[in-house]
A and B are shown apart, each in its own frame.
Chain A
Amino acid sequence: MLDLLLRALLGGLGVASVAGPLGAFVVWRRMAYFGDTLAHSALLGVALGFLLDINLNLAIIVLCVGLALVLVTLQKKHIIATDTLLGILAHSALSLGLVAVSFLDNIRIDLMAYLFGDLLAISQVDVYWIYGGGLAVIALLVTFWKPLLAVTVNEELAKVEGYPVEAIRLLLMLLVALVIAVAMKIVGVLLITSLMIIPAATARKLSSTPVQMASFASLIGCLSVCGGLWASYRWDTPTGPSVVVCAALLFLIAYTLPFKRLR
């Protein structure tokens, strides 16, 4: 039991640490709905992973990245408004995923676990994936922090100054896709975006620089995971939603209490 909890805690903390800084970018660039769309399509990735018998994490990453590329292409053509486009893609991908899962007769999938996450079902291999993927994401974030931020602050200035704007934008999408694949086990496809944006939004209240906001987001995410796990253990509530509720509570506290911004 203790082993199980410890593994859940380790996995959860790993995911929250990565989701924080990336969530900050999602908030800054107003990509929340975009994150949702990628997350929803992750279920399709799971189904395809089972059907084609390949590694699930890999299937999810490939599908998310593929979808991100499709999105960018469609967005450029200005056929319909971006939010409509995202809505169409998000829900068709989710439905397609659910339909595809129903074809998997001989494999039993715990659908609820994929939709809402099951931190307690996390395996040793999952922890490796989380830390491997998480470290890769953090390394990329640290290496490309300045260009990522420059492009986020103002794309045109960044372009004139010679930053490779398109490549950086793509990198960010790749990172979001990676985090979604990694975080899916913890909070599930329907709740991943919340684990990215709620801690980041909470951190905004306390920060006066981007680095502060990204680090606080990690910290607040970790607190939420601890709180959620504890609640789940104590009252036998579902883990994923408990983590999100905990994050939402921290958000409320940060914005109702008169906290001072760090200088």
Chain B
Amino acid sequence: MTQIVIIGGGQAAGQAVASLRQEGFEGKIVLIGEESTLPYQRPPLSKAYLSGAVPAEKLLVRPEKFYEDRDVEVHLGTTVTAISSDQKTVTTADGTFDFDKLLIATGSTPRKLSIPGSDLNGIHYLRTMADVDAIRAQMADAKRLCIVGGGYIGLEVASVAVSAGLSVDVLEMEARILQRVTTPFMSAFYHQLHEGRGVKIHTETGCSGFRGTDQGVTHVQCGDAEIEADLVIVGIGIVPNIQLALDAGLACDNGITVDDHCQTSHPDIYAAGDCTNHPNPILGRRLRLESVPNAMDQARTSAANMLGGDKTYAAVPWFWSDQYELKLQMLGFSADADAAVLRGDPETLQFAQFYLFDGKVVAIDAVNSPKEFMVAKQLFGHSVAADDLANPEVDLKSLLPSA
């Protein structure tokens, strides 16, 4: 085999390049990314990069020299316009590339609002380094930020912005923030946390439009009510980038359909990251995940299998979120549980909520509790006495399967 093409320039693409070389592939690697930046870490964008604590060069997953030294042909700022699965070519404005194997790592795009005024200056989405550069440029002079969407991105931005002295409103359509992704208990905890820090949260409040001047947005409209804002960040979810795959005739269903080897419906085409709909053999169902660990693991799996390996992707999903001085680490899905066990006291901002199904650990939300998170990783799928988990006097080590 001589040539592998990777479409995408995110963390899955970056990891795939590294894994291919690490696995000993000596042929040509072509990476085609739409953004103008080499693969970088996305999670800090709504956290330390937004706050200014971490500079851009620290976000690159590997330095520019890495790609030169490893002989990777990198095309940045380049849009792929078509994949031909029959001819095994990828077409861009710059030309056409042949591939023996192709990895689609196109990621996802923020869901857009299409309501009156949504193209006013000062209204942003947050996905790329360029997005955050634009936000930061306006944040310096902004007074009133309105965040549309009470998900993790929105709440991370809220914590940075209110800490920087801005007035912050969060609009959430559902009855509680984080409704799609966590339990009422955790929603209530974060609601209280943010309100305590000065963020105003408006639940059951949809955004119906924006009002402004030539200079930019001045008001966010919620039905009959209006909220003043000179900066707006919309975080209402993402949609997987599957159009190229669809046009190429690959099977897609809420993501590019892959098997547990990250192979699409075409044997020479693989996919990794946010854009995939993949089976999870541990959970026994298909998932589409918006998660860095998933992107990295699928990239490693794809790389091994494109080179003729037989690697299965089977991992328990995990996520993290930093807000204020709180580090939240999550494993599994709390929606799978029939019982919850609290260890620690939320008032101290250090606690873990374990989730069980049929007496077995299926998920955890750990706030400033890395040890509990690591325990849950090892206890996943194992039966454990709820009373022991809840009792801070019981040493967590004694609960491990090997103990």
A and B associate: no
- Chain A residues packing against B (C-beta within 8 Å): none
